[in-house]
Amino acid sequence: MKYVKTILMLVAVWAAGLTTVRAETRALVLQTDFGTKDGAVAAMRGVAFGVSARLPIFDLSHENTPYDIWEAAYRLNQTAAFWPGGTVFVSVVDPGVGTERKSVVLKTKSGHFFVGPDNGSWTLVAESLGVEAVRQIDETRHRRAGPERSYTFHGRDIYAFVGARLAAGVVTFEEIGPELEAAVVTLPYEKARVEGGVAIGTIPALDFQYGNVWTNIDEGTFAKLSPKFGDVFTVTIAKDGKRVFSGEVPYVKTFGDVAEEKPLVYLNSLLNVAFALNMGDFAKTHGVASGAAWSVKIKKKN
């Protein structure tokens, strides 16, 4: 009986410890511009799995436009708020890899963590989720052993490794490195606003699968124009101040409210203003792309 009690006690202690480890484990979400045609993403996932076999690893996207930091920033902001606090995002769209840009972990006021280069990728999540603190990764302590002579794959050697250790509870945020007093690097862009009865914004991203054009003009800003379904709006899209598209477009609930190949204004799944062609590709048809160089103006037709 004595041995049975001892065994039961040891099992209870082991189970309690296992529960603690699992409770500390957070989701790890990866974003890159690497694509999936080679082994780069799999190498990152392998590094993370090597930190903890229990670590839940997910992909945000690996098909981002190469070198497009703005797109990476938008995809993070599009996604992060739908994940619970504590989730660790590793984002590697890093045209400056190996240069003097800082490697950091950003903790937002919502409790999310963002690991990667401080090159503008945190622009939008810093605004929408708030900045709790930023720490520079001490690469002398937090780097995968072995690749000291490799300067071009920090996604594998630093960011996936640090992100996995943070998500698995191997290290704390405070142990990552020194806290930075300066704000994160941000990218300039046209912020949504209304001036003289015109809603103004930018095109942060396209809905690539369908060619829909998404703006950063949120529902609240759009509401200042007192829109009603069926109203017609004059839409002007420009790149670097040069007009690319101008037309009168109806505001409707959904795509099927207009005939096929006809344009529409609608609120997308993020409740931001967007433009589309029903069963067509607005972006391709009108030569529209995305990024900080693009601007949008919307005015209700009298």
For each of the domains in the chain, give its residue range(s) and CATH number, in order of start.
25-175 (3.40.50.10790), 193-300 (2.40.30.90)
Those residues of the chain that have pLDDT short of 70 are: 1-24, 146-152
CB 149 within 8 A of CB 178: no
Alpha helices in 80-130 (DSSP H): 123-129
CB 288 within 8 A of CB 296: no
The pLDDT tens digits of the residues spanning 143-155 come to 777 665 566 688 8
pLDDT at 155: 83
Residue 105 to residue 117: CA distance in whole angstroms: 9
The pLDDT tens digits of the residues spanning 3-34 come to 545 444 444 434 444 333 344 679 999 999 99
CA distances from 281 to 124, 251, 257, 278 (A): 27, 17, 16, 8
pTM higher than 0.85 for the full model? no
Alpha helices in 204-287 (DSSP H): 219-223, 282-286
pLDDT at 281: 98
Looking up tokens 């992909």 gives 59
